Chain A
Amino acid sequence: MSPIAFNFGPIARTAAGGRDDTINLASLPLHVLLNALTAATSAEEFIAWLWHDLYKPAFQWARRTDGGFSWLHIPGIGAFQTAEKIFAARTGVREGLVSTHHPRAVNSHPELKSLPRFPILETEILSDQGDQVNLGSKVNYIQLSIAAEPALSTALVRAAIADAFIEVVSRDVAVALQKKLQSKGTPIERVRFEFKSVSGLSFANPFDDTELWNKVGKYFDVRFDGTTFVIEHVTPLSKSTAIPFETVFTADLTGEPLMPSELIHNTISLSELLVLYQDSRTIIIAIPQKGIYPIDQPKLDKLKRQTIAATRKRLDAFDVLTAVGGVDYLQVAFDTQTEIRPLLWNNKETKRPLEKVSLRPSELIAEARNDPSGRVCRLTGTPFTSSLASSPTSLSDLFSSSFVDTEFTGLAGDISPLAHFYLLNSPNSDGAGKAGVPKRASLRGSFMMLAPASHVAFDEGQARAIDRPLLDQGGRFANTLSRITTTTQEFTLFQQMSRRIIANLWQSIAPGEPLPLPYLGAVTLTHKQAQSIKLMLPKLKQVFTDVKLHVYPFEITVRPAIEVVIETALADQKHAGKHTLLKTTPRIVTIEPHSTLPLLIDDKVQINVTAELFERAEMLYRLMQSLPRQKRKIRQSDLWLKLILNSSDPITAVFESAQATIESKRLPKNSSMEHAAFGDAERFWLQHFDTDSPAQSWDAYEQQRLETTTTLEQFPAIMLLIRALHDPDTKGSLP
């Protein structure tokens, strides 16, 4: 498969000189947007942060007297001296705010010392991180934690809560931004970054600031275009063939969810920008400084109420019961197993490790485990505290008399509030299953979830320079860079890629449809959309491919990840009545050729799908397509596959499967079964093996024979996979 490729713009941060020789992978748009969102204390600073690194894409590098390197990029200094005055006036920013954003530049340019400065600098939001990913000493966050083990029986409800939480916070931040971020009464709803390149430029050696400005600098631009803030960049290339670099990247700050097609075409939503970290139990969202987005207890209470309401709306849409017998289980779940807390900076904490915060759900579970009134959920193993009455200990009372999955349950009679949704939504609950009322199947039977996972992985050794920037007069990129470092901005970057991979998968089966959980960036399909799950299965081969990140002047293979659950029934009509969601757990899968995908075929069989298994199944299916005969319920293609998997060669299998499926009464008078079957075999031969040379045709046949006859030995589950991928009964579209 051809690799998935992303290009969000050029690199934005490096450390160079001395022992440092590193880059960060987050692109310039991501970098400046995240700086603006997390460090700005006013609208003016927000706008200034958007263009503070304006000239980085010129890649002018000079060697300092101490042997280090300087990336000369600051509006108001050097070749870009005149730019700050122009753009500051145009954007309503005080002159100096941008040119002073680097303390080192201020030190070496005494004339800057009297100018206004950002109150929070990059050293306080990013530069403290290095390889130990910290939250940034002066960045504010809000965190949702779900105190539950990541069991599949609670996955849908947890995903709905997470999606609701991200929506509520994103919309609230968007409202605050719209109020503050205005140009002459017009709010900034979008920020568009345009990256162009120019080849064939020549410069004097050494060139001076005037030449650089006239040939490159003056083509940069910063301007308002209605409700869009536009920033244009130009990169002079050394190689005219320097790869697909030009791109447009747009940030949508409205808080609205984006359509998959927008995501794929390099638009990023506010919620994507704000979500720093997400896994199946916690969401950490960056929020602006209090000058833009103040947060206090009443606001937290309001966000929690809104999250509950938004969650209920989603669960209603999934046909998940949330309240039964006068008990509002969703409210109980929020009160006992969910926490929304602010993570506001203070001067006491200088190091705030992401790892410590991301483990908050485990802390909450530990607290419940140590609580004298703590109980343990028999379905998920989660310790919890709750005033909910104990559930029946008899499994037949708990589920039904036909319940057989005893090995997946504990002994005690305690069910955690989140797991209660699984019990509440049995096939016949709340009047379902009676005449005229369909059985409840949202938490039973087929299920699929694909959600972005916070996972940063790449191979530094595979970073390849695609160009040596033309203006690198100091030699910064003369040698191969040895290290890539990770900050919170790389976490956002990798999620960006995960979300787009999921969006692309979704768009392939539901073009024009929004993601089921757009704020979480997740696809969630329940038994009611079983046909959509089947439609999605063949598309999942996209998981087994390289992901290339173009981040000028480099290209690197990266491994973003998604959380995956796939459960699908083949021919089991009673599938939804079986407790299959207890049989598997979600798994984090990296996007790469050697990945494996867990696939629960039905309530009995789980297989691990690999690229090779996928390819073999696709190959066999392709061959089967040229065998359309059917005699009563016997399909020639099915018979052919069985013969193949029993070591018959592909041509003989065609001959024999044709003999079994030819309607002899329909044959012409002068024909016979052997003639017709031979005709099928000959057509198959011509279609798949015919070449100009008889010897090559035979070799092609032998190669195919070798692959097909060893398939069952190598991949015992191949027939199940072929049926799962290409169930001929799957004809439906999205409900």
Chain B
Amino acid sequence: MTQPQDKKPKKPLEQTLAEALQAARGLDLQSPRADAVRLAVQALLLMRGGMNPDLFARQDRKFNPYPALVKYIRASNTETLGALADDVLRNISPEFITLRSLGLPAEEIYRSDELGQRAMTLLKEETTPLVMLMKRLYQEARGFDEADSASVESSTPSGA
């Protein structure tokens, strides 16, 4: 996965999210589940994009949004994609932000059709790999990720 060298954001959040969402919609996947994957990633980007930047400002405990997403998506017992996004975002970032670019995915994920249900199932069952994909798209669009400095939090595994 790309590890940006420049530690400063090159774009405003608005533009970052718009580009990431555009990339998610344009993913050229061979998978028979391609539509559901694209929608699930948009839902994840909506959750990621709505997180308040203040979460990353604490110096005593660096915030990593990706494990948090995995944790709260897997823990949620909501039944629709929209409810899931709402539930997760309220758990991670109750004071979420709004951006103009969040409008379109919000409209997409609040649908209640069969595709939305498939994306929901996919997101619940394969949360971690989908978060990996979303992270990649977000970082490529942003050029920098506030979460990068927190990635060192993970302990490196070693054999027993």
Q: In this assembly, does B103 line the interface, its C-beta being within 8 Å of a C-beta of chain A?
A: no
A674 with B126: CB separation less than 8 A:
no
Interface 0/1 of A143-171, CB less than 8 Å to B: 00000000000000000000000000000
Task: Tell me the chain A residues, 520-559 only, with Cβ under 8 Å from chain B.
Answer: none
A694 with B137: CB separation less than 8 A:
yes
**Contact for A679 among B62, B129, B136, B154, CB less than 8 A:** B154
A628 with B66: CB separation less than 8 A:
no
Q: In this assembly, does B151 line the interface, its C-beta being within 8 Å of a C-beta of chain A?
A: yes
The residue on B at minimum CB distance from A685 is B132
Task: Tell me the chain B residues, 119-160 only, with Cβ under 8 Å from chain A.
Answer: 125-129, 131-133, 136-137, 140, 150-151, 153-160
Q: How far is the CB of A637 from chain B (nearest CB, A)?
A: 10
B31 with A655: CB separation less than 8 A:
no
**Contact for A655 among B30, B62, B128, CB less than 8 A:** B128
Task: Tell me the chain B residues, 30-55 only, with Cβ under 8 Å from chain A.
Answer: 30-31, 33, 37
A690 with B1: CB separation less than 8 A:
yes
Q: In this assembly, does B70 line the interface, its C-beta being within 8 Å of a C-beta of chain A?
A: yes
Please indicate which of the listed interface residues B127, B128, B137, B140 has the most CB atoms of chain A within 10 Å of its own CB. Answer: B128
A698 with B154: CB separation less than 8 A:
no
Given A676-B154, A698-B29, A649 and B68 touching (CB < 8 A)? no
The residue on B at minimum CB distance from A661 is B157
B27 with A695: CB separation less than 8 A:
yes
B37 with A698: CB separation less than 8 A:
yes
Q: In this assembly, does B100 line the interface, its C-beta being within 8 Å of a C-beta of chain A?
A: no
A685 with B129: CB separation less than 8 A:
yes
Q: In this assembly, does A697 line the interface, its C-beta being within 8 Å of a C-beta of chain B?
A: yes
A649 with B129: CB separation less than 8 A:
yes
A698 with B31: CB separation less than 8 A:
yes
A671 with B132: CB separation less than 8 A:
no
Q: In this assembly, does A702 line the interface, its C-beta being within 8 Å of a C-beta of chain B?
A: yes
Residues from chain B with a CB closer than 8 A to the CB of A677 are 67
Please indicate which of the listed interface residues A667, A678, A686 has the most CB atoms of chain B within 10 Å of its own CB. Answer: A678
A670 with B154: CB separation less than 8 A:
no
Q: In this assembly, does B64 line the interface, its C-beta being within 8 Å of a C-beta of chain A?
A: yes
B157 with A680: CB separation less than 8 A:
yes
Q: How far is the CB of A342 from chain B (nearest CB, A)?
A: 63
A651 with B153: CB separation less than 8 A:
no
Given A679-B154, A680-B157, A702-B33, A651 and B129 touching (CB < 8 A)? yes
Q: In this assembly, does B71 line the interface, its C-beta being within 8 Å of a C-beta of chain A?
A: yes
B23 with A694: CB separation less than 8 A:
yes
The residue on A at minimum CB distance from B23 is A694
A678 with B70: CB separation less than 8 A:
yes
Query: How many angstroms between the C-alpha atoms of A78 and B158 in the bound complex?
Result: 76
Q: In this assembly, does A436 line the interface, its C-beta being within 8 Å of a C-beta of chain B?
A: no
The residue on B at minimum CB distance from A701 is B129
Residues from chain B with a CB closer than 8 A to the CB of A731 are none
Q: In this assembly, does B28 line the interface, its C-beta being within 8 Å of a C-beta of chain A?
A: yes
Query: How many angstroms between the C-alpha atoms of A690 and B1 in the bound complex?
Result: 6
Query: How many angstroms between the C-alpha atoms of A686 and B132 in the bound complex?
Result: 9
Query: How many angstroms between the C-alpha atoms of A667 and B154 in the bound complex?
Result: 8
Given A674-B71, A695-B28, A699-B31, A629 and B137 touching (CB < 8 A)? no
Residues from chain B with a CB closer than 8 A to the CB of A654 are 128
The residue on A at minimum CB distance from B129 is A651
Residues from chain A with a CB closer than 8 A to the CB of B150 are 675
Q: In this assembly, does A636 line the interface, its C-beta being within 8 Å of a C-beta of chain B?
A: yes
Q: How far is the CB of A621 from chain B (nearest CB, A)?
A: 15
Residues from chain B with a CB closer than 8 A to the CB of A694 are 23, 27, 133, 136-137, 140
B66 with A678: CB separation less than 8 A:
yes
A652 with B129: CB separation less than 8 A:
yes
**Contact for A675 among B37, B67, B126, CB less than 8 A:** B67
Query: How many angstroms between the C-alpha atoms of A595 and B112 in the bound complex?
Result: 52
Query: How many angstroms between the C-alpha atoms of A671 and B157 in the bound complex?
Result: 14
Q: How far is the CB of A389 from chain B (nearest CB, A)?
A: 57
Residues from chain A with a CB closer than 8 A to the CB of B27 are 694-695, 698
The residue on A at minimum CB distance from B135 is A682
Residues from chain B with a CB closer than 8 A to the CB of A667 are 155
Residues from chain A with a CB closer than 8 A to the CB of B137 are 694
Query: How many angstroms between the C-alpha atoms of A371 and B150 in the bound complex?
Result: 87
B37 with A662: CB separation less than 8 A:
no
Query: How many angstroms between the C-alpha atoms of A118 and B67 in the bound complex?
Result: 87
Given A698-B37, A702-B31, A651 and B155 touching (CB < 8 A)? no
Q: How far is the CB of B73 from chain A (nearest CB, A)?
A: 11
Binding site for A on B (CB under 8 A): 1, 23, 27-31, 33, 37, 60-62, 64, 66-68, 70-71, 125-129, 131-133, 136-137, 140, 150-151, 153-160
**26 pairs across A/B with beta carbons < 8 Å?**
A628-B157, A629-B160, A651-B126, A651-B129, A655-B128, A666-B155, A667-B155, A671-B155, A672-B153, A674-B68, A675-B64, A675-B150, A675-B153, A676-B155, A678-B66, A679-B156, A680-B157, A681-B129, A682-B1, A685-B1, A686-B1, A698-B27, A698-B31, A698-B129, A698-B133, A699-B31
Minimum-distance CB pairs A-B, first 7: A679-B154, A630-B160, A678-B67, A628-B159, A651-B129, A671-B153, A674-B67
